[in-house]
Amino acid sequence: MNIVVTGGAGFIGSNFIFHLLKKYPEYRVICVDKLTYAGNLSTLAPIMNNPNFKFYKLDICDRENIYKMFEEEHPDVVVNFAAESHVDRSIEDPSIFLQTNIIGTSVLMDACRKYGNIRYHQVSTDEVYGDLPLDRPDLFFTEETPIHTSSPYSSSKAGADLLVQAYHRTFNLPTTISRCSNNYGPYQFPEKLIPLMIINCLNNKPLPVYGKGLNVRDWLYVEDHCKAIDLIIHKGKIGEIYNVGGHNEMTNIDIVKLIVNKLGKSEDLITYVTDRKGHDLRYAIDPTKISNELGWLPETKFKDGIEKTIDWYLNNKDWWEPIISGEYMNYYEKMYSNR
């Protein structure tokens, strides 16, 4: 089996490639990544010489070269992780989100149609459902929850999801979509909550909590997300959407305090800053469908996953130090100074 994984130099895509190469040594994995600020080739260094792995530095919007890659590689399955993925950046400048997340998705699906109706999986997000109120813990996102987006990021992901459903209905393209909650684990870019807080703690820098820190996210260890996608591409029903989440809701402030305490730092580092515009209050996934139909269950408890993640950042400074000393510093200054 030849599997094209787009966005494989990013956080979840790289974890998914490691998962595939380990579990299916007979598969060929072809990674396509533009290497934006969020893509990191050093993540893939240990597998670059694996004969079952190939890397293409390529933009998913580049139709001509995407078609060439399909002609060379004959994929059986395409799993699309490639995206602009950070909500705060989408608020600063939405345009690249529309380009990569919507146009890129259509280019990949056109290639799938052109080269033999190839199986296509879209990695989407629970953010397409908008948010839930904080005072209704009985409510969860199901696959039937209407799309109702808040940020340019989530709108672009929702636009892509609608296109995927349209390509399935109109062209009979064999598609599936997964909508997962917040992931955490190794190789996550330090602009996202958990790695940002771990790294700032280690550097004794202020910990910028948006608003009052009471927004709720539903955290899932990245390996559990990878296992869910593995099940969907092998056993999922064509044309379907699967929600993925582990019923692990926490407020942001509780996450930050937990990290501070695990690292033996002072809570005085916590600094409340101006809230994110349009900030979603609560995400909470109902994963009943994927559990009942495909037997998926989250395996890593948050208390173990967060320990593994903190240990990973402690032991892999070589991975993140070059990131935070480069262009990221300009981003950080722009986002957080005088906030």
Q: Catalogue the active-site residues.
A: 126-127, 153
Does 61 bind ligand NAD (CB under 6 A)? Our answer is yes
| 252 contact, one of ligand NAD, ligand TDX, none, CB 5-8 Å limit per kind | ligand TDX
The Cα diameter of the chain in Å comes to 58
| 193 contact, one of ligand NAD, ligand TDX, none, CB 5-8 Å limit per kind | ligand TDX
d(CA 306, CA 49): 31
Does 66 bind ligand NAD (CB under 6 A)? Our answer is no
* Of residues 265 and 332, the one with the C-beta less far from ligand NAD: 332
**Residue 108, C-beta contacts closer than 8 angstroms, at least 6 positions apart:** 6, 60, 66, 78, 80, 120
Does 227 bind ligand NAD (CB under 6 A)? Our answer is no
Contact 186, 215 (CB under 8 A): no
Three-state DSSP class for 35?
coil
| Residue with smallest beta-carbon separation from ligand NAD | 10
* Of residues 123 and 233, the one with the C-beta less far from ligand NAD: 123
Instruction: Name the segment binding ligand NAD (CB under 6 A); options: 180-188, 247-255, 310-318, 329-337.
Output: 180-188
Amino acid at 111: A
Does 9 bind ligand NAD (CB under 6 A)? Our answer is yes
* Of residues 91 and 269, the one with the C-beta less far from ligand NAD: 91
* Of residues 14 and 118, the one with the C-beta less far from ligand TDX: 14
Q: Taking the CA of residue 107 as centre, how many other CA atoms within 13 Å lie in the half-sphere pointing to its CB?
A: 22
Instruction: Name the segment binding ligand NAD (CB under 6 A); options: 31-39, 233-241, 291-299, 301-309.
Output: 31-39
Q: What b/e string do you get for 34-43 counting C-beta neighbours within 10 Å, with b at 16 or more?
A: bebebbbeeb
Per-residue string for binding with ligand NAD, 132-171, x by CB under 6 A?
A: -------------------------x--------------
Three-state DSSP class for 206?
coil
* Of residues 276 and 308, the one with the C-beta less far from ligand TDX: 276
CB of 69 to ligand NAD, least distance (A): 11
Three-state DSSP class for 30?
strand
Helix or strand run (H / E) with residue 227: helix 222-235
Instruction: Name the segment binding ligand NAD (CB under 6 A); options: 177-185, 232-240, 261-269, 282-290.
Output: 177-185
Per-residue string for binding with ligand NAD, 187-226, x by CB under 6 A?
A: --x-------------------------------------
Among 37, 28, 32, CA closest to 7: 32
Q: Which residues in this chain contact ligand TDX in the complex, by CB under 6 A? A: 85-87, 125, 127, 182, 192-193, 196, 208-210, 215, 217, 252, 276
d(CA 155, CA 84): 12
Does 306 bind ligand NAD (CB under 6 A)? Our answer is no
d(CA 231, CA 5): 15
DSSP per-residue string spanning 106-172 = HHHHHHHHHTT--EEEEEEEGGGG--B-TT-TT--B-TTSPP---SHHHHHHHHHHHHHHHHHHHH-
HEC letters along 62-82: CHHHHHHHHHHHCCCEEEECC
* Of residues 85 and 145, the one with the C-beta less far from ligand NAD: 85
CB of 33 to ligand NAD, least distance (A): 4
Q: Give the interface with ligand NAD as residue ranges (CB under 6 A).
A: 6-7, 9-13, 33-36, 38-39, 59-61, 81-85, 100, 104, 123, 125, 157, 180, 182-183, 189
